[in-house]
Chains A and B, each alone.
Chain A
Amino acid sequence: MNEIAAPTIEYGQLAPMLLVFGAAILGVLVEAFAPRYMRKAIHVPLTLLALVGSFALVLVQVFVNGVPTAPSAMGAVAVDGPTLFLWAVIAVLAFVSVLLINDEDNFVAQASAVPGSIEEEDAEVAGMSQTEVYPLVLFAVGGMLLFAASNDLLIMFVALEVMSLPLYLLCGLARRRRLLSQEAAVKYFLLGAFSSAFFLFGMAFVYGYAGSVDLSAIHQALPNVGGQDTLLVVGTALLGVGLLFKIGAAPFQAWKPDVYQGAPTPITALMASGTLVAAFGAVLRVFWVALGGFEWDWRPVMWGVAILTMVVGAILAITQTDIKRMLAYSSIAHAGFLLTGVIATGGPEQNQNALSGLLFYLLAYGITTVGAFAIVTMVRDAGGEAGHLSRWAGLGKRSPMLAGIFAFFLLAFAGIPLTSGFFGKYAVFSAAVAGGVLPLVIVGVVTSAIAAFFYVRVIVLMFFSDPAADGPSVAAPTIGTATVVAVAAAATVVLGVFPEPMLDLANKAAATLFVR
């Protein structure tokens, strides 16, 4: 008998992720055994504690044990500087998103009840709620953590699915406008399944080329394997389709507005922040770590994708009349800005600059996004959230504080100085200029100017238009929502006025670059 050697797993390094998965499984047990009335009371602290714990474990790893310099779990997962930074960011973003989710008005009472049926009414009257939301979110967050850290295409695929499947479900759980929500879930699921298939297919091609799914092995194969470039090129393209779908880059952006609009807003917040961060982590791993010596072939395509993404995002956003759809297109445009940083590769120092810029941008954008969606949940009329932009007219007079903060978030998205968005954009664009992609940066600033138009249009609506007679009411925020808005606003100010500590941290995280 051949003996199978037991793999060595560095549990300590993986602890932040394992904790989240463990808590998710506990959550499933709670669903199974705890009485219905107690479930929420158990879920909320459990979920929040898991995320805080995960964040704390990241800190312990960084400050007590030091940043690992080699991949863990037999080379399957890379817990390096960028990973730890992204983990901390995802933990924070997930934490604030869960505070929003906690606001139970957003989720359906009983998902299995047909919209508009008597069962639905009964469930609402009985005060039921789908508390499965919490474990689902934890699974999704666990998937995000793994997605950003995977050092192996197979693991990355598993992470992709673990992250996506709960999100497909969560998208369909909106309490109001349920058909729209379910439609969004189906669209997301179908398109997501397609993109996963592309990813899987691409993985097969790359395996055919390199003989391994390990990112570092692929990297090593690049200069050594000859005569099979077709496999590599096709494989890269297919992998790219799968990943670019997740970040919502054009021409794979079509799902974003529909899904963002239909999903319950707290879930939209989680997707727009956490998923984007995780997906960019994965993009960087595949294109920098595995295909790092292959830039000359993927870069021209990425140029096209980046330009298209920025232009499509900025221009289509102008025509939107729904606030969530507008924010979705804005997120597409921002994905394009981020891609300019992904393309700006070069020597180690250049890579470090680009990477730290991207890390800072992801953090700044993620927090502001959650804050913006938190405010969207608060502006309501009889039918739930007042999504249509015309309903926001005159909000500045009715509740100046709320409208002021939202305007501030919008200015941050537009990249006005003294907001976090400006320094994020600056960090990425300056790295891009140094990396020799000046034309992309020029496209970037021109589209920023276009994008400013639709952000400013909302400000005009809120402050310079007269309120509609039957305008939406602003719900008194729950403590959770208020905390989210306050945290997001504070972060946007602090990162905009005094970004040095965070930039420094991002620099340090990027200093080691990715381990292979």
Chain B
Amino acid sequence: MPWLSILIAVPVLGAVGVALLPKGADKLAKQVTLAVSLIVLALTIVMAVQFSPGSSDRFQFVETYPWIPSFGVNFGVGVDGIALVLIALSAILVPIVVLASWHDADAPNAKRSVKAYFSLLLLLEAMMVGVFAATDVFLFYVFFEAMLIPMYFMIGSYGGAQRSYAAVKFLLYSLFGGLLMLVAVIALYVIADKGTFMFPELIGAISDPNTQKWLFLGFFIAFAIKAPLWPFHTWLPDAAAQAPAGAAVLLVGVLDKVGTYGMLRFCLELFPDAAKFFTPLVLVLSVVGIVYGAIVAIGQTDMKRLIAYTSISHFGFIAMGVFAMTANSAAGATLYMVNHGFSTGALFLIAGFLIYRRGSHHIQDYGGVQKVAPILAGTFLVAGLSGLSLPGLSTFVSEFMVLIGTYERYVVPAIIATSGVVLAAIYILWMYQRVANGPTAETVQGMPDLDRREKWVIVPLLALIVALGFFPKPILDVINPAVDKTLANVSVTEHKPAVPAVAEPKGAGE
């Protein structure tokens, strides 16, 4: 069965269907969107069950159809463990976001078209699946660029007060990076001279170290803007703060992962020598990002901006793990991509619930929420704790793996990066303290607690965070072989067996 094509086609058809619904059928549009996204989730689960991590094939569920033979472009899709978990992340987040965004498009923005929002959401889902599934570099590029457009409209049409500024900044930053990557993609094709864009055939095709360096930079800058790494990050706080909460989840939780995924998949494997050459530089950028993001997050007064800056810090960890190139660090980074999606997703959504109730982004407008809305505050605390990587919650596992893996090879960056863990405690707990503790602010009086829909949004996320915190093995089992193959292509001599030191996360760190 052509699983991946179906996973791309179903949301596209859903998007068209939702867009064609008659005017005024807003509720139906939401229901159809939810149904479609649940179907995609179900299909993803069925596919994931059939995935065999131990298989010797590099990619599974491979499909290749010629698309543009004149350019050597194929519609080539396939997944390894890394791509699979990221597709699963997207498929899980979308229905949650749909449910969470139930009222995002109506109420104060009644002029905006509700069905357009949900149609864009489904379109975005198709592209998210496509970008991770693409095994053709050109196809990857097409999805990489095309997915900007739905997100651009979601921020620009449905976002906060500064939405058009944020949307344009987001689009132009990403487009600029993408166009540089386009030059590198073209040059890769021309220099490799293989007549194809299929990723497996391009591995090792560029041998000249100098060429590798230039092409690496073309790809890397695009991914560094996308991820985003310091100093390419300035678009993210604006975009994430202005986007509606649901779109912000997908933006930070999935779209930005395309950047770190691209580094792991394309930068490392296509240009291994260049990747090693640039490792010190990338590690410095990552470490600066970890510390800088955390410190700036502490100083934020706007809840969503704060969460965006914490993500910049976390993306520093992920990039560091990717470029440290040890089995632990790379597997940890991949796991971090998934965990960060859930934990930041939960944070953004709960912040969104708070903002929806109070009508303000500013932390100072809150206080004592705990007393009036205990469940809301409690879930906020748990999500926050996962953001600061409390042991027992999923992010801890991945952060610890990244740090330990990096330490094996690069001691100093790993030590500096640990300060990010301490700073994380400050920004999260201080935000929680100002929002939920203390005397109940007048404006917060009578704030309703989570309703049933909102519980349905948050509970699955928190359950995943806790479950993966105690038992990350199923995901690591899928990730590890893929990471090993990746590192083998980079020809990093990695002696470690696939079983990481943190199979028992509880006892490992403390």
Contact = CB atoms under 8 A, between A and B. Distances in A.
Partners in one complex: yes
Interface of A: 356, 397, 400, 411, 414, 416-418, 422-423, 426-427, 429-430, 433-434, 438, 441-442, 445-446, 448-449, 452-453, 456-457, 459-460, 463-465, 499-500, 503-504, 507
B182 A464 contact: no
A416 B172 contact: no
Contacts of B142: 417-418, 422
A465 B157 CA distance: 9
A464 B172 contact: no
Given A449-B179, A463-B157, 15 more contacts: A400-B113, A400-B116, A416-B146, A417-B145, A422-B145, A429-B186, A433-B187, A438-B183, A441-B183, A446-B179, A460-B156, A463-B156, A464-B164, A464-B167, A504-B69
A500 B69 contact: yes
Given A452-B171, A503-B68, A460 B164 contact: yes
Contacts of B172: 449, 452-453, 456
Nearest to A506: B70
Contacts of B148: 416
Given A460-B164, A463-B153, A438 B187 contact: yes
Interface string B112-153: 010010000000000000000000000001110110110011
A456 B183 contact: no
Contacts, number: 87
The listed residue with most A CB atoms (<10 A of its CB), out of B111, B143, B190, is B190
A442 B214 CA distance: 12
B309 interface: no
B179 A445 contact: yes
Contact of B186 (A414, A430, A465, A500): A430
A504 B167 contact: no
A314 to B, nearest CB: 12
A445 B182 contact: yes
B175 interface: yes
B166 to A, nearest CB: 10
Q: Is the interface of B mostly helix, strand, loop or mixed?
A: helix
10 contacts: A400-B116, A422-B145, A423-B68, A426-B186, A429-B183, A430-B71, A452-B172, A456-B152, A456-B168, A463-B156
Contacts of B180: 445
B182 A434 contact: no
B1 to A, nearest CB: 24
A456 B146 CA distance: 14
Given A430-B71, A452-B172, A500-B69, A417 B146 contact: yes
A444 to B, nearest CB: 9
A460 B145 contact: no
Nearest to A449: B176
Contact of A507 (B70, B143, B179): B70
Contact of B163 (A426, A464, A500): A464
Given A417-B142, A446-B179, A456-B172, A503 B70 contact: yes
A499 B190 contact: no
Contact of B71 (A416, A426, A438, A459): A426
Given A418-B146, A453-B172, A463-B153, A442 B183 contact: yes
A500 B187 contact: no
B189 interface: yes
A463 B152 CA distance: 11
B183 A445 contact: yes
B179 A417 contact: no
Nearest to A502: B70
B356 interface: no
A465 B68 contact: no
Contact of B189 (A411, A430, A504): A430
Contact of B175 (A442, A452, A504): A452
B334 to A, nearest CB: 26
A434 B183 CA distance: 11
Which 10 A-B pairs have CB atoms at the shortest separation, nearest pair first?
A: A445-B179, A464-B164, A417-B142, A503-B70, A449-B176, A464-B156, A430-B186, A417-B145, A417-B146, A433-B186
Given A433-B187, A456-B171, A500 B153 contact: no
Contacts of A452: 171-172, 175
Contact of A429 (B141, B143, B182): B182
B67 interface: yes
A460 B172 CA distance: 13
Given A417-B145, A460-B156, A500 B182 contact: no
A364 B168 CA distance: 26
A423 B142 CA distance: 10
Nearest to B164: A464
B71 A460 contact: no
Contact of B68 (A356, A429, A500): A500
Contacts of A448: 179
B68 A499 contact: yes
A90 B187 CA distance: 32
A417 B150 CA distance: 13
B299 to A, nearest CB: 29
A456 B153 CA distance: 11
A356 B68 CA distance: 14
A441 B185 CA distance: 12
Contacts of A418: 142, 146
Contacts of B167: 460, 464
Nearest to A504: B70
Interface string B431-475: 000000000000000000000000000000000000000000000
Nearest to B69: A500
Contacts of A417: 141-143, 145-146
